Structure 1
Amino acid sequence: MTVTAARELSDDTVCFVGIGLPSLAANLARHTHAPSLVLIYESGTIGAKPTAPPLSIGDGELASTADAVVPVPEIFAYWLQGGRIDVGFLGAAQLDRHGNINTTVIGPYDAPAVRLPGAGGAPEIASGAREVVVVIRHSRRAFVESLDFVTSIGLSEPDSRHRLGITGKGPRAVITDLGVLRPDPDGRELILTHLHPGVDVDTVREHTGWPLRVSRNLRTTEPPTRLELTTLRELTGTASSS
């Protein structure tokens, strides 16, 4: 999942990164095929080059390795709302077929079963970045027919993003531990376009909370290369000492 997500990022791309798997994937890309990838974190760091996955947006290494550190309002007003972010990399607790994201509550808002970490900068990233890539583990708890709360807008209704004054295109890919989903030709609904090796369509459908559509040109993702695996293990501190 992390390797496939990293491959979504090309060299010289400006990427607004979330903490967790998005950050790990972005740093894997920077250490392999995209050395000129520019990583921007919500705390105001531009061009951060962490040697290990940051623990939070306030991790000191993000600032100490960055090309510049600017105030948070500048990150959002000048960089994000100004249309200078190519890709926003996000995680999610829940996701629907239109790529809308919930990171706020599970259950009713006033009396939730679970209160999640919240929105943070995700709503602005989802609306202001030119494109969005979502990294999320595939399960019926996460891939739901209807969100308990819409934290960040996805593809939604035709022209709704334009009507709301949202400049970004929305999700271009959802990377899971089973495969890859991308918008259908109409750009409204996520469909299965790639399976990871060893996974079949029935398994993905069993883990999806809506009737999942499958691309006519369904493909298998390329397995991780030796370089990608070695670099990933070095980043996460799991490389063998032998």
Structure 2
Amino acid sequence: MTTTVSAATRAEYCVIACADAWRDNGEVLASPMGMIPSIGARLAKRTFSPDLLLTDGEAMIVGLDGEPEGWLPYRRHLAMVTGGRRHVMMGASQIDRFGNQNISCIGDWQQPARQLLGVRGAPVNTLNNPVSYWVPKHSTRVFVEKVDMISGVGYDSAAAAGPSATRYHRIPRVVSNLGVFDFATPDRAMRLASVHPGATVDQVQEATGFALARPDDVPGTREPTPEELRLIREVIDPKGLRDREVPS
């Protein structure tokens, strides 16, 4: 009997795009922040990146079923952070063309119009290990020409700070509900790498507050395999929480 797999939803394409951020990473600590990045990290570990380490967000290494498999003391965690052995996927209230990220405030930081999370660990994360970003609602309010305050360090800011800032600094990708972005350009400006099915290049550009670099022919985000869809739907997220973050 042949089982028919229904077409992937927008949320599932986002999961796939997030999972691919950890492809070929080897034995590194995956630190996803958000529902879809978390599903993506678990999918990556179950398929093409089996050496990934996942944690409970506190002090334990967890397995595929979420059960503790080991202890990760804080000192060891920091050693992985400062040695480039962790790959974080963070959120962004603002992100600009060179990958500077803001989660601190909107407006002048001396008298902001809106107070957000604060800088938190963003500077340490971005300077000491690879950091990707997840944006569930792509808009010109998030993708801005210049962030109001730098929390996570972008390519231009790292270069200006010198070699000590660029040793481990890397932004592999940005994933939004419209497409996938990277910085594979000569000046490290953000590039549109792929668009999700149902979105267009013009739609992505219109929702972005700066001119995106892009190839002449922008590809679509890769299709999930039937096995990946089965894992997402039946094993990792059977309750469909992904669709709450990115509705179909």
Give the shorter-chain TM-score range: 0.7 to 0.9
Question: Given the alignment of the two structures, is residue 33 of structure 1 paired with residue 48 of structure 2, yes or no?
Answer: yes
Q: Secondary structure at the match of 1:214?
A: coil
- CA distance in 2: counterparts of 1:43 and 1:187, whole angstroms: 37
1:192-211 maps to which residues of 2 (within 5 A)? 192-211=192-211
- CA distance in 1: counterparts of 2:82 and 2:37, whole angstroms: 21
1:151-170 maps to which residues of 2 (within 5 A)? 151-156=151-156, 159-160=159-160, 162-170=162-170
Question: Given the alignment of the two structures, is residue 139 of structure 1 paired with residue 139 of structure 2, yes or no?
Answer: yes
Tell me what 2:31 maps to: 17
Tell me what 1:220 maps to: 220
RMSD: 2.5
| CA positional deviation for 1:145 | 1.2
Q: Secondary structure at the match of 1:175?
A: strand
Tell me what 2:125 maps to: 125
State the aligned residue count: 223
1:16-38 CA deviation, whole Å, 9 max, x = no partner?
A: 41421332321121233333321
TM (norm. structure 1) is 0.80
CA contact (8 A) 2:159 2:165 kept: no
- CA distance in 2: counterparts of 1:161 and 1:128, whole angstroms: 13
Question: Structure 1 residues 117 and 171, CA, compared in 2 at 3 Å: closer, same or farther?
Answer: same
Q: Secondary structure at the match of 1:17?
A: strand
CA contact (8 A) 1:104 1:119 kept: yes
CA contact (8 A) 1:10 1:37 kept: no
Question: Given the alignment of the two structures, is residue 3 of structure 1 paired with residue 16 of structure 2, yes or no?
Answer: yes
Higher relative contact order (CA 8 A, sep 6+): 2
Identity of aligned residues (%): 29
| CA positional deviation for 1:215 | 1.9
- CA distance in 2: counterparts of 1:142 and 1:181, whole angstroms: 14
- CA distance in 2: counterparts of 1:50 and 1:110, whole angstroms: 45
- From the two aligned structures, give the one with the greater helix fraction: 2
- CA distance in 2: counterparts of 1:213 and 1:90, whole angstroms: 22
| CA positional deviation for 1:14 | 0.6
| CA positional deviation for 1:175 | 1.2
Question: Structure 1 residues 50 and 119, CA, compared in 2 at 3 Å: closer, same or farther?
Answer: farther
CA contact (8 A) 2:30 2:41 kept: no
- Structure 2, unpaired ranges of 5+: 1-13, 241-248
Q: Secondary structure at the match of 1:156?
A: helix
- CA distance in 2: counterparts of 1:119 and 1:2, whole angstroms: 26
Q: Secondary structure at the match of 2:62?
A: coil
1:22-69 CA deviation, whole Å, 9 max, x = no partner?
A: 323211212333333212566343x32364xxxxxxxxx6xx514222
| CA positional deviation for 1:160 | 2.6
- CA distance in 1: counterparts of 2:182 and 2:209, whole angstroms: 17
Tell me what 1:54 maps to: none
Tell me what 1:68 maps to: 71
CA contact (8 A) 2:201 2:218 kept: no
- CA distance in 1: counterparts of 2:103 and 2:181, whole angstroms: 20
Letter in 1 for 2:144: V
- CA distance in 2: counterparts of 1:158 and 1:133, whole angstroms: 15
Query: Which stretch of structure 1 is more off in the superposition, 25-34 or 156-165?
Result: 156-165
| CA positional deviation for 1:142 | 0.8
- CA distance in 1: counterparts of 2:144 and 2:150, whole angstroms: 12
TM (norm. structure 2) is 0.78
CA contact (8 A) 1:105 1:114 kept: yes
1:92-107 maps to which residues of 2 (within 5 A)? 92-107=92-107
- Structure 1, unpaired ranges of 5+: 52-60
Tell me what 1:84 maps to: 85
